[in-house]
Structure 1
């Protein structure tokens, strides 16, 4: 096996990626000559392939990702001091002339899913317990505390915990307390649960539903309706206080607009119309148990993989994300399009700098204009707040080699593969067209995954180079590591390792084939994701305010 030290991502690039730590003075082959490093270059970072003067363009992935802010010597490390964010100015071409060669699947796979009356197929059969307003968060937790011990889904620190508490109460010193073993009690298997065909009861809390504007409240109702429409959701219990902006009447109006003829079990309770909090919680508990008995009647049946809607997400990205994990997700996206299914690319602040490539791929020119408008409008909002897309990379991103937002975006966009774009959706709009969809979301990981599930994603692929526990209450989140070090260090949150691409033991295509098999197992309920095993149900509604 040949272990490569560097990677030239695109033949037009003038910077190169270090695949391992490279000491100052290293002589590295490039074309017919050698480049001598004038700095130590850590793995995931980049170095100059030529001398740069101030203002010279810096290219990676074949596109502009920055400009030299200082003179840079050949072999010098690329940093936030010597390179600043810069992007190409995009333009919309009058005609769609994008060429793409679709992969030719020999056979369309099947999975075992939940068939809904509207023709959609879910990968899970979940029940949601959700407040219409944050004032009800405490009651959501009270219902959770009452129900969970009897349902078999919860995961608690149990074995050894009582002994540790008693030791502490009796004055044990810190070393004795910290040395006490505490074991995690795993959730029961489906055959041991009272509702074997219900994959989970998800108790959501949030900070939405009141305050802000009426438009915020309506947007939140649209998000909740999107969750109820998701085929992974069998039904829901909603708690209302009664006086909040997100009124039950507003919710029902949005439900009728977005899902006319909605026929899943739905129970809504309003506290200000109840004689007591105790009675209010009791009624919500009873209706939830009734709802569980109703959705327990459905069981998994075979379905073609083209019924899946796969959302693409990245978070805690590193300098390897754009050359390993994200291209693997892109291959999955292209496979889904070839199968006749759907995929979703989101996080618009992380598409800054690759707009031209995405505009060229919009099959409908109206979608191209819509994408351009959403990007420009959000960019203006960021500038009005004294920021901009260039502020998107986090300290962790920068530390691990993502120096500019354009560099980060060029790698992030790889999650969308190369297929034409069938539609551009605003926040909370539903996926209705097969193919690759662009969804307007912020760069914030949890706000974006919340949005993906709210627009119909039945499975989410989440690439990461630094590690994140993010999950979702409605949709399984498969965490894909960009490097093997992370996969070994955090095996309880990483589902799939694409690090073999960096070490040279596996190609992007081979990794995607293995991941596709994993997707089928997760979609069929044969395998829980790490975030599901940890009960990581992250839910953050977005108000469409600035969130890079």
Structure 2
């Protein structure tokens, strides 16, 4: 295993692939020097003496500026470096892409749910959606009435046995005896006796919006929800409205019509203020949903070409290895899918800060290049206007594990998008319509971003992580890809694939990318359930377009 890595020939800092001791001899391009201090795994050290105002390069791009003198072989930290990123403007118009070899995947298929508009779902889920937060309690009651009775996993399937603690305490158990008790009483398997075997799940999209905010927020919520309703993973939906809220049924219907003029799935609207009483309202919702499920159950999985996959690219709780192992491996899988005629979607615009020019240069259309530039500048200016900025994006966990500036984090995060041309740039809640690599404006916030990826039409999401994030999505399978072995071992209950072999030198980016593709085919076919789905991780947070980094 290599001890350290210089990622790009332009870089003047080096990544430690394992804990390195002070005095260790470093050899890079016939240049030899010794470490001036201990360097922790995932952190970086300087290749030469640096002075205040000098620039720091990593991945071949500008990622920081020196704020105090750094001795050669010393660590790069938040004390001696601050965020800096390159300016961007216009497109070079000279981009050419070298497609990867796709021989292993040509002619391959996955088993999906074919929809009338030609899209293919990787799951067949029924949605119960409140148009306003006032209906969340009714959603709870409907969930309790339906899920267990129909043979789906319930919240009780993953529970902590508090009653056992109470019993032992009342019997006089000591503190030590209480601490030794195993509280887990969980079942990680879905029921095999589902009433509707071809409906993968009942999903409940609770949220805190729909009223009380701006009218624009309600409008955007309806646009996002429409994306979930027309999504190929959706079998049908039950919509609950109070009646007086900003997010009105006609607004939602307008966006459904815009996104799919020939929408033909079962869809039921219920308004509580027009019902006899709450009990009758809930009973009607349960009855309509049950009837809809009888219709949704008639569709079965059938073979579909891989170009029907729309892959969302996400990262969260990243570490100093994310941009070296997990992200570029996912980028290769993205390139394979795009080369096969499929679609990949790169989001999290605050985490593209510093690599804007590269992405602009990769845009096929000048209009898309301009749109991306405008979206990035608007987002950045809005953050600055409230006293923040993209430089505040790295979390304490990111910094602790080696990502000390936003540009450094972004340069690694962008690797998820591979190397292909950008075929479309989308604003939040816009639908994916063009194959190839799409850029989607979302926050860096994990759940807001995955919520947006699903709402724009992604039927699979891969979520890379270096520190561990349990995020999932109610509609779309979310595959967790670990950047390192330690995380894969310590949080095996949330990790689906481990890219740690790249760090060990046992895997190449290409071989790991192919493994990811093979895994995605199984997930898309319903042959492999993601850990997020097993754990019931149905996270859903709409973005209000306020400042969220």
Number of residues paired by the alignment?
544
Indicate the residue corresponding to 2:190 in structure 1.
188
State the Cα distance separating 1:373 from its structure 2 match. Answer: 0.3
SS in 2 for 1:321: coil
Output aligned runs, 1:401-480, within 5 Å. Answer: 401-480=402-481
Q: Aligned in 2, Cα 1:174/1:252: closer, same or farther, shift over 3 Å?
A: farther
Say if 1:96 and 1:364, in contact at 8 Å, map to a contact too.
no
Residues 1:104 and 2:105 are matched in the alignment: no
State the Cα distance separating 1:187 from its structure 2 match. Answer: 3.6
SS in 1 for 2:146: helix
Say if 1:160 and 1:180, in contact at 8 Å, map to a contact too.
no
Q: Aligned in 2, Cα 1:160/1:380: closer, same or farther, shift over 3 Å?
A: closer
What is the CA deviation profile of residues 197-230 of structure 1, one whole-angstrom value per residue up to 9, with x for unaligned ones?
0111011211110111111111000000000111
State the Cα distance separating 1:497 from its structure 2 match. Answer: 0.1
Say if 1:152 and 1:187, in contact at 8 Å, map to a contact too.
no
State the Cα distance separating 1:62 from its structure 2 match. Answer: 0.5
Indicate the residue corresponding to 2:121 in structure 1.
122
SS in 2 for 1:142: helix
State the Cα distance separating 1:178 from its structure 2 match. Answer: 4.5
CA distance in 2, matches of 1:174, 1:233: 49
Indicate the residue corresponding to 1:21 in structure 2.
19
- Further displaced range: 249-258 or 289-298: 249-258
SS in 2 for 1:369: helix
Residues 1:366 and 2:379 are matched in the alignment: no
CA distance in 1, matches of 2:101, 2:161: 54
CA distance in 1, matches of 2:269, 2:33: 67
SS in 2 for 1:58: strand
Q: What RMSD, in angstroms, separates the aligned Cα atoms of the two structures?
A: 1.4
Say if 2:316 and 2:469, in contact at 8 Å, map to a contact too.
yes
State the Cα distance separating 1:22 from its structure 2 match. Answer: 0.9
Indicate the residue corresponding to 2:383 in structure 1.
382
Q: 2:62 aligns with which of 61, 64, 78?
A: 64
Indicate the residue corresponding to 1:282 in structure 2.
283
Output aligned runs, 1:47-58, within 5 Å. Answer: 47-58=45-56
Indicate the residue corresponding to 2:292 in structure 1.
291
CA distance in 2, matches of 1:373, 1:537: 32
CA distance in 2, matches of 1:177, 1:282: 43
What is the CA deviation profile of residues 172-205 of structure 1, one whole-angstrom value per residue up to 9, with x for unaligned ones?
5554444443320234344x21111011101121
Say if 1:159 and 1:185, in contact at 8 Å, map to a contact too.
no
TM-score (norm 1): 0.97
CA distance in 2, matches of 1:421, 1:150: 46
CA distance in 2, matches of 1:508, 1:360: 24
CA distance in 2, matches of 1:64, 1:209: 42
Q: Aligned in 2, Cα 1:261/1:411: closer, same or farther, shift over 3 Å?
A: same
What is the CA deviation profile of residues 67-119 of structure 1, one whole-angstrom value per residue up to 9, with x for unaligned ones?
111111110100001111111111213x6210111113122421000000111
Segments of 5+ residues of structure 1 without an aligned counterpart are none
Say if 1:10 and 1:60, in contact at 8 Å, map to a contact too.
yes
State the Cα distance separating 1:276 from its structure 2 match. Answer: 1.5
Output aligned runs, 1:146-545, within 5 Å. Answer: 146-155=145-154, 156-157=157-158, 163-168=164-169, 172-181=173-182, 182-190=184-192, 192-545=193-546
SS in 2 for 1:183: strand
CA distance in 1, matches of 2:488, 2:160: 27
State the Cα distance separating 1:249 from its structure 2 match. Answer: 1.7
TM-score (norm 2): 0.97
Indicate the residue corresponding to 1:75 in structure 2.
73
